[in-house]
Amino acid sequence: METIAWIGFSQGLFAAILLLAKKELGVSGKILTAWLLLLALEFLTCAIDYRTYGIPLLSSSFLLFNPAFYLYTRTLVGGQFKLDSIQLIHLLPFLLFESLAYAYKEPYSLQLFLDPGNTRWFRFAFAIASVVSWIGYNWATGMVLFKHRKRILDEFSTIESNKRVTWLIFIVVFYNLYCLAGMAVAIAVIILKLQIPLSPIYNYSALLGMVYILGFYGIRQGMVFTGPIPEEEKEKYRNSSLTEDRKEEINVLLNDYFIKKRPFLNPDLDMRLLSDALDVPKHQLTEVLSTVMKKNFFQYVNEYRVEAVKKMLVKKRDYSIEAIGYECGFNSKSSFFKVFKQITGMTPLNWYKLH
């Protein structure tokens, strides 16, 4: 167990140092760096506990993990979300219970949870705070990610892996499965009095795995939004009430622009570029796409790309299928094949053979 603690300390500290070396750290990068440093400190105190008491004291690491993960996710996918000093209140439960655990020298043990004594109230308070923190913050984090997955379809015509932030969704799933399993074991040990040989090594091993995942993907993760975030655009145009005539006018303008200028051939086309080119607010374009055309920006642009691919497959038989995909605005073979099949129901090769 002590070995895992020292590994966690060194890995958390190393990942934080690597993050600090990034050129574009941003608010989300700063939060992740601070988070990894605190996790490294948590592992260090665990190692010291083993040396001092022979067992780690009650750990509040998950009271740190829950709000830190929420704040990191919010700043990463929220564009220009600003972190101010008042939000440090999220760390108060972690600091409070961590301090009390050392003040009372409360051991990390499920078997002693119901034991009578002066610290019984502390154990109950810690358990309630942990469950409330887990449910509240994970629900909030899940909602942020859900809204983000819908938002990027209205913002980008090409969605790269750094915009999808799939690794964050993996962490949410893994973490919640782990917490559910931990609660089941806790109930079995505390309520049913089952003798399950569970030690803190399992919790700290899972936490070490999280440090590796956060360090690896956090260093690679780039900014998702570089311009004003969609919420700011909606706030700016919240009083806009498009008439049916204006919607139709924007609809015609949009279709004419795509037919004549063919902006979909640019793989980096996004809603910001389109808004600037048409001199129409992003919010209004999104509203027209959603209410008039019944589709999002991603669908609209890629339908034009797929139609362009179909024409080139018939006309330019000396081109490879992959080259045609790139020529028509797709930025990778995988995204080209995936989108083409989603829209047509078949692969580009099968469509070519059929026609």
Predicted local distance difference test score (pLDDT) of residue 344: 93
Residues 250 and 285 sit within 8 Å (Cβ to Cβ): yes
DSSP 8-class letter at 176: H
The full set of domain ranges for the chain reads: 2-220, 239-294, 302-355
CATH tag, 2-220:
1.20.1070
Distance CA 59, CA 234 (A): 42
- Taking the C-alpha atoms of residue 189 and residue 132, their distance in angstroms, rounded to an integer, is 21
Give the per-residue pLDDT at 248: 93
Distance between CA atoms of residues 322 and 97, nearest Å: 57
Question: The tokens 């499965």 sit on which residue?
Answer: 177
Quick one: which H or E segment has residue 142?
A: helix 120-155
CB under 8 Å to 68, separation ≥6 — which residues?
A: 31, 34, 35, 38, 90
Task: Walk along the chain (355 residues) in steps of 10 and give the mean pLDDT of each run.
Answer: 89 92 83 92 90 83 91 81 79 92 85 79 90 94 90 88 86 89 81 68 85 90 64 49 88 95 94 94 91 93 95 84 93 92 92 87
In this structure, the number of other CB atoms found within 10 A of the CB of residue 308 comes to: 19
Read off the amino acid at residue 62. F
Which of these CATH numbers, 3.90.470, 1.10.3470, 1.20.140, 1.10.10, describes 302-355? 1.10.10
What is the per-residue pLDDT for 327?
93
Look at residue 79 in the predicted model and tell me its pLDDT: 59
Residue 237 pLDDT: 44
Q: What is the pLDDT of residue 80?
A: 60
d(CA 160, CA 163): 5
Residue 149's pLDDT is 87
Please check whether the two domains, 2-220 and 302-355, share a CATH topology. Answer: no
Question: What's the confidence (pLDDT) of residue 227?
Answer: 52
What span, in angstroms and rounded, lies between the C-alpha atoms of 238 and 248?
20
Whole-number Å distance between alpha carbons of 37 and 20: 11
Q: Using an 8 Å Cβ cutoff, are 350 and 323 in contact?
A: no
Q: Are 297 and 305 in contact (CB under 8 A)?
A: no
